[in-house]
Amino acid sequence: MRLDSFNVDRNAPGWNDLPESFRDLIERSLRLQNRVALLDREIYRPAEAAKVPDNENSVQAQLNLLRTAFSIN
């Protein structure tokens, strides 16, 4: 489930006329929504492609072994 953003205009007419407990509830719900959105981004962000080191690529590993075996030092 994805949440849509929820914006509150604290400068809107009538905002200060709302009961303080209701405004506090809105503020707490916004903080909770921000936390959920952060977790959502962490959980559903695209996975980074795993870089395969050269030694885990079997063809590259064989080529490296051949280079080592036939190199003249």
| CA angle in degrees (0–180, nearest 5) for 66-68-58 | 50
Q: Burial, 45: exposed, middle or buried (Cβ in 10 Å; 0-12, 13-18, 19+)?
A: exposed
Q: What is the pLDDT along the chain (73 residues), one digit of tens a residue?
A: 555 666 778 888 898 999 999 999 998 998 998 898 888 888 888 777 666 665 577 888 788 888 888 886 5
19 token code pair: 């009961």
pTM of the model: 0.52
Residues in CB range of 23: below 8 A, 6 or more apart: 15
28 token code pair: 């707490």
- Asked if 2 contacts 33 with a C-beta cutoff of 8 angstroms, the reply is no
